[in-house]
């Protein structure tokens, strides 16, 4: 009996100890929470708000940092291999943003316009871009190695007229990246947004750039293991390389376009043994980035002329990437400026852009010094521009059939004579000119872009630099400014309209032939509009 009572007493004693421990832990947790809340109240009083990954603060408050931040991207394997990391497929985690480095600029005179700065622990360019994307802004500005600003307009972040060489502070979270200067700001433009890994197959498929011969050992591509094209693209994304090429689980290649791997290695048949499918990652290839405004000086102005709808915006994009300098415009469209064409709002008279977009070919204009004229099949040019006009200036928008039925005839009647007379007006100006047919530009963009750049009188690039930029451009051909090529499922041209169109084409071709212009204009009459009337 005494033994039983002794055991019962010991049991009750142990139970009390456990209960005391639970109560102590609960009280301690409550005390920590209250202390944490009081700490945040104190921070808020100083103008600093704690966030999970960042600290939000007024730029005038001294920098404060949190001790830890979640990992932005990570690279793990499901197994450990004693022989090679490549023995198993790595697992890629994180969020990746597509952005363009616009360069370094001096800050605005009134910094309050830039809004509230964000101090980010272990700052990287990707982290700043991710924050700005999440706050629905198109531009990010980095400064001091750890501070991020966001705005919908680059002009709200920096003075784009005042480029700087003082962005020399590395990012705190990635020392090989630049995150601005002590005062000056590195500006980024966010393109398609930020995408978490693992990527979806549909995303990777949409970024295909075609089939190529397998990269050679001297192409600069590294070889890795990946079970699918999607996993291969993730791997190259993590390595911050712009091109992924997938052939089989043991043949995932990561690299960039060079003279050893470029459009000349592209294949028309993807079924041959040596073929790899190539994809464009979200990573910017900086060789054709860092586009600038021209320094003040005396330059020969080249007009980039065309009838609206002839691919002028896309051609402008290609030329900016190839030359490294922004093109200007006679129109000053704010929507184009906000889309990344930063030379759009500069007055033509300032001469700060390498070439100027203009649809009006006035031969008597005194500042018309030389011209690149882009000519496109008018059947397709008119459809393209009608899409733009009908969607209130949207350079990538599309009109529906009802709109075509109501307004297209009137549009053609008002535009056809203008298209027909453009070559004539060009010849009348007696200025140096180069004619580029849009269809040739689509078929062989690098050759035709090189031809245009070499025609420009302002020799701003060393030949080797031009070739490097063109190699980079070959993987960046589409841009964000080329309207999707979905064909109309009906032919908007009546027989009367077709007759008038063919007469205008014949007149323009005859004008160029009599002037000795080569190559001869393509057979636009036979080609007609690029439509697919079999689709219902």
Question: Can you tell me the distance from the alpha carbon of 162 to that of 107, in angstroms, rounded to the nearest whole number?
Answer: 9
pLDDT tens per residue across span 136-154:
999 999 999 999 999 999 9
User: 89 or 113: which carries more pLDDT confidence?
Assistant: 89
Residue 170 confidence (pLDDT) above 60: yes
User: 189 or 350: which carries more pLDDT confidence?
Assistant: 189
Residue 55 confidence (pLDDT) above 50: no
Residue 2 confidence (pLDDT) above 90: no
**Entry pTM:** 0.81
Q: What pLDDT, on a 0 to 100 scale, did the predictor assign at position 289? A: 87
What percent of the chain has a predicted confidence (pLDDT) above 70? 79
3-state secondary structure of 165: coil
CB 485, CB 359: distance < 8 Å: no
Question: Can you tell me the distance from the alpha carbon of 405 to that of 414, in angstroms, rounded to the nearest whole number?
Answer: 16
Sheet of 355-358, strands arranged across: 328-329, 355-358, 302-306, 370-375, 433-437
Name the pLDDT band for 200 (thresholds 50, 70, 90).
very high
3-state secondary structure of 29: helix
Residues facing 245 on adjacent strands: 253, 278
Residue 364 confidence (pLDDT) above 90: no
Provide mean pLDDT across the span 365-374.
Answer: 90
Task: Flag the least confident range among 85-99, 268-282, 432-446.
Answer: 85-99
Residue 20 confidence (pLDDT) above 60: no
Residue 244 confidence (pLDDT) above 70: yes
Q: What pLDDT, on a 0 to 100 scale, did the predictor assign at position 523? A: 96
Residue 60 confidence (pLDDT) above 50: no
Name the pLDDT band for 205 (thresholds 50, 70, 90).
very high
Name the pLDDT band for 69 (thresholds 50, 70, 90).
very low
Residue 194 confidence (pLDDT) above 50: yes
Angle CA 296–299–301, to nearest 5:
120
Q: What pLDDT, on a 0 to 100 scale, did the predictor assign at position 532? A: 73
DSSP codes of every residue in 189-235: EEEEEEEEESPPHHHHHHTEEEEEEPPPTTSS-EEE--SSHHHHHHH
Question: Can you tell me the distance from the alpha carbon of 447 to that of 221, in angstroms, rounded to the nearest whole number?
Answer: 24
Q: What is the mean pLDDT of the chain?
A: 83
Question: Can you tell me the distance from the alpha carbon of 130 to that of 190, in angstroms, rounded to the nearest whole number?
Answer: 9
Name the pLDDT band for 528 (thresholds 50, 70, 90).
confident
Question: Can you tell me the distance from the alpha carbon of 281 to that of 509, in angstroms, rounded to the nearest whole number?
Answer: 42
Residue 64 confidence (pLDDT) above 50: no
Question: Can you tell me the distance from the alpha carbon of 239 to that of 258, in angstroms, rounded to the nearest whole number?
Answer: 18
Residue 248 confidence (pLDDT) above 80: yes
What percent of the chain has a predicted confidence (pLDDT) above 90? 63
**Sequence-distant (≥ 6) Cβ neighbours of residue 143 within 8 angstroms:** 107, 117, 149, 169, 179, 180, 181, 182, 183, 184, 185, 186
Q: What pLDDT, on a 0 to 100 scale, did the predictor assign at position 461? A: 87
Provide mean pLDDT across the span 495-506.
Answer: 97
Residue 255 confidence (pLDDT) above 70: yes
Question: Can you tell me the distance from the alpha carbon of 94 to that of 72, in angstroms, rounded to the nearest whole number?
Answer: 6
Please report, to the nearest 10 degrees, the dihedral formed by the alpha carbons of residues 158, 160, 164, 169 taken in order: 30
| Residue whose C-alpha is closest to residue 159's, from 184, 128, 177 | 184
């Amino acid at each position: 009996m005494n033994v039983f009572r002794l055991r019962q007493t010991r049991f009750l004693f142990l139970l009390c100890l456990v209960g005391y421990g639970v109560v102590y832990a609960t009280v301690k947790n409550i005390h920590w929470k209250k202390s944490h809340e009081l700490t945040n109240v104190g921070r808020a009083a100083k103008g600093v708000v704690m966030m999970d990954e960042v600290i939000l603060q007024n730029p005038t408050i001294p920098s404060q940092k949190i001790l830890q931040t979640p990992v932005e991207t990570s690279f793990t394997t499901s197994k450990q291999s004693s022989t090679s990391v490549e023995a198993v497929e790595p697992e890629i985690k994180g969020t990746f943003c597509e952005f363009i480095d616009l360069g370094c600029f001096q800050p605005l005179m009134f910094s309050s316009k830039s809004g509230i700065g964000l101090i980010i622990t272990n700052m990287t360019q990707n982290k700043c871009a991710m924050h700005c994307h999440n706050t629905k802004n198109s531009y990010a500005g980095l400064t001091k190695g750890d501070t991020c600003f966001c705005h919908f307009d680059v002009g709200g972040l920096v003075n784009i007229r005042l480029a700087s060489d003082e962005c020399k502070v590395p990012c705190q979270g990635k020392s090989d990246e630049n995150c601005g200067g002590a005062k000056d700001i590195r500006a980024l433009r966010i393109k398609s947004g930020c995408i978490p890994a693992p990527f979806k197959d549909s995303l990777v498929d949409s970024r295909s750039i075609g089939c190529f011969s397998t990269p050679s050992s001297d192409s600069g591509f590294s070889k890795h293991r990946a079970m699918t094209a999607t996993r291969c693209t993730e791997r190259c994304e993590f390595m911050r390389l712009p091109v992924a090429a997938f052939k089989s689980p043991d043949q995932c290649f990561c690299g960039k376009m060079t003279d050893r791997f470029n459009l000349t290695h592209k294949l028309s048949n993807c079924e041959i043994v040596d073929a790899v499918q190539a994809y464009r990652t979200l990573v910017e290839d900086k060789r054709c980035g860092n586009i600038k405004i021209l320094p003040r000086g005396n330059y020969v102005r080249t007009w980039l002329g065309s009838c609206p709808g002839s691919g002028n915006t896309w051609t402008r994009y290609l030329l900016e990437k190839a030359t490294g300098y922004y093109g200007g415009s006679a129109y000053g469209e704010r929507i184009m400026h906000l889309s990344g064409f930063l030379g759009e709002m500069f007055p033509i008279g300032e001469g700060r852009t390498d070439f100027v977009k203009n649809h009006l070919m006035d031969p008597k204009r005194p500042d018309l010094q030389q011209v690149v004229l882009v000519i496109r099949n008018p059947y397709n040019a008119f459809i393209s521009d009608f899409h733009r006009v009908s969607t209130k200036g949207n350079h990538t928008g599309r009109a529906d059939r009802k709109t075509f039925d109501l307004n297209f005839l009137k549009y053609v009647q008002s535009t056809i004579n203008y298209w027909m007379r453009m070559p004539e007006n060009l010849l009348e100006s007696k200025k140096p000119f180069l004619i580029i047919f849009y269809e040739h530009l689509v078929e062989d963009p690098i050759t035709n872009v090189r031809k245009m750049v070499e025609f420009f009188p302002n020799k701003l690039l060393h030949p080797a630099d031009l070739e490097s930029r063109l190699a980079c451009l070959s993987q960046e051909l589409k841009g964000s400014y080329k309207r999707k090529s979905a064909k109309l499922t009906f032919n908007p041209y009546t027989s009367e309209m077709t007759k008038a169109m063919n007469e205008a084409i014949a007149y323009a071709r005859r004008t160029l032939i009599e002037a000795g212009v080569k190559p001869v204009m393509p057979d636009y009459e036979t080609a007609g509009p690029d439509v697919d009337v079999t689709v219902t």
